[in-house]
Amino acid sequence: MLAGATALAAALSAPLPRAAAQAQPVANLIVGDGAMVIKAGPDKHVYVGVAGADTRTVTLAFDAGAVDDFVGDAQTLIARGTRPLAPHASDRPEIEESESARALSLTRHMERVRGVQVLSYHVFVSDDKLGGFTLVTTPVEIRSIILALHRAVRASYAASAPPDTTTHHPHRPPAHSAPAPKPPAAPQPGPG
């Protein structure tokens, strides 16, 4: 646990781009032997700080649309659990920064331990040198990461939306005019 707390502190202190200063915090997660800090930027960006057990840190700035695509691919992979993937499904969702070689990818690992199928997910974080490190996560931890990324995308879009300048008035029932008076009935001729 001490390693996780140290990694979280490293991820929190990692320098983020200037635009990230206005970013809204979404999640601070301790996953495996590392930590992730996820923020939503007002510029349709999602900022991710990742720290590994070896005290390496990487900060990433992704386009919100690319994160949304990554989340969709990752959810498909995660939903399969230990079952084989469908032919069209990605077995390694990946997202890259638009202006550098830094990236984040996800792979599923299955192994048998004492006759029991054990499932884990590996998040590989690469830095500018095309090196990187891996965070090994449980199925619960990877779902937390994907949920936080999804929330960051939604918050980023909301923060980037133009302000609503229309004036809203409370709902008033429509005014109804009184019905027109009916003309008096004409006298009916009597018998005879």
Read off the pLDDT of residues 108-121 as tens digits, 9 standing for 90 and up: 998 888 888 889 99
Asked if the model's pLDDT at residue 64 lies above 70, the reply is yes
Residue 173 lies in a domain: no
126 has a pLDDT exceeding 70: yes
* Whole-prediction pTM: 0.74
What's the total number of domains in the chain? Answer: 1
Res 41 pLDDT > 70: yes
Q: In terms of C-beta density within 10 A (0-12 exposed, 13-18 middle, 19 or more buried), how is residue 51 classed?
A: buried
Does residue 87 belong to any structural domain of this protein? Answer: yes
Q: How many CA atoms lie within 13 A of 171 on its CB side?
A: 1
- Start-end of H helices in the chain: 2-13, 64-79, 139-160
Query: CATH number for the domain including 43?
Result: 3.30.2450
At residue 106, does pLDDT exceed 90?
A: yes
Does residue 93 carry a pLDDT above 60? yes
pLDDT tens track for 170-182: 666 666 666 666 7
- Placement of tokens 């301790």 in the chain: 30
Q: Give the pLDDT of residue 1.
A: 45
Residues 6+ apart with CB under 8 A from 131: none
Question: If pLDDT is split at 50, 70 and 90, which confidence band does 2 have?
Answer: very low
114 found inside a domain: yes
> Amino acid letter at 83?
R
Indicate the pairing of strand 57-63 with strand 94-96.
unpaired
Whether residue 170 lies inside any domain: the answer is: no
pLDDT at 152: 96
